[in-house]
Each structure stands twice: as C-alpha cells, then as structure tokens.
Structure 1
Amino acid sequence: MPQRLVEDNSRMSLRIPTEEKALLLRAVALKHTNLTDFVVSSALEAARSVIDQAERLRLSERDSLRALDLLENPPAPNAKLLAAAQALPKLP
C-alpha cells in the first residue's frame, strides 16, 4: 500500500534487521551521540560522496595536459560548427 504524502517532510522511518540496529547502537554509544544524529550524519556523508563522484570529472595527467592544450590552442572550426554558428539567431 503506498504511503500518503506528508506536507512536513522532516520525518523518515526505516526498517532494519535487529542485528544491524544493534550494530548502529553500538557505534552510537562509541560516538557518544544519538541514533538519529549518527544515521543522518552518516547518510549525508555518503550522499555527498556519491554526488561528488558522479559530478566530478577525473582526468589522467595526460588527459589534463591535452585539455589545457586544447583550451590554449583550440582547433579551427569545422564546416558543421560554422554552419551551426550561422544558424543561430542574431542577438539584438
């Protein structure tokens, strides 16, 4: 059964196996925090890492040098690029 949407979206419920909850509670005790803060901070750290990996482009040294060279010495435009530029609407 689908859950109904709630306007106050600040609450989240999780169902996890007893063993996993016990592991979380052990970590919480060692960190001297509470379960909510521990889970939220851990999830946010993981989310930031996933987003960073998805949005960041990592180049090898060779590719970095090639990209810099192309920025400093761009190739001459080919016929398709010139045609596309000509097709653009003129700015006022």
Structure 2
Amino acid sequence: MSALMVAFVRVHDLEAYNREYLSIAHPLIVKYGGKALAVSEKVKHIQGSLPEGKFVILEFPSMEQAEAYYYSAEHQRVTENGKKYFSADSIIAENQLHKG
C-alpha cells in the first residue's frame, strides 16, 4: 500500500531553498521511490485549521519507504541545513484507497 507525505512549506529564501535544499532533496525522493503528486501555492482554505505555506504531496510505494526517506541520514542532514531557508508542517499517511 502506498504512502503519502503531505506538507505545508513556508519558504523564507527561495533562491537558497532551491539551491541548498530542493536540489538535494528531489534526487533523494526519487532514490526512495517517491514522486511528487502535487505542489501548489494556490491553496484555498475551506474548512478547519491549516498551517500556511506551499502545499506539497509526495507519494512513496509504502510507509516503510516514506519513513526510510524521511529518517535517512541524507534527508536529516539536508533538512537541518535547510531550516535556515524554510519551515514546514508535515505528515506521512498510509494511502488506504484501493486502486482498481
């Protein structure tokens, strides 16, 4: 069963974020079998409480692969460095929607 990583990302320095974080994180996402399903700065809030920021959905083949990506030494290192350029709220959820 696939897993979704959903994040609201607040970028403070776009140039540095792209150079110092995204350019490294994207190949790591692919390395762990992930792919971007949605990225949008046009988010219309319709109900409840949500954090501000760019809306991002990544899909991984399984919860294990999503967690392996997130907790990998490479991702933790690039994220710690990237905190100078962005902040985020994120979750990983098992996709229980059956395809077919």
TM range (shorter): under 0.3
Question: As a proportion of its length, which structure holds more strand?
Answer: 2
TM-score of the pair, normalised by structure 2: 0.24
Higher relative contact order (CA 8 A, sep 6+): 2
| Bigger Rg, structure 1 or 2 | 1
Question: As a proportion of its length, which structure holds more helix?
Answer: 1
TM-score of the pair, normalised by structure 1: 0.25
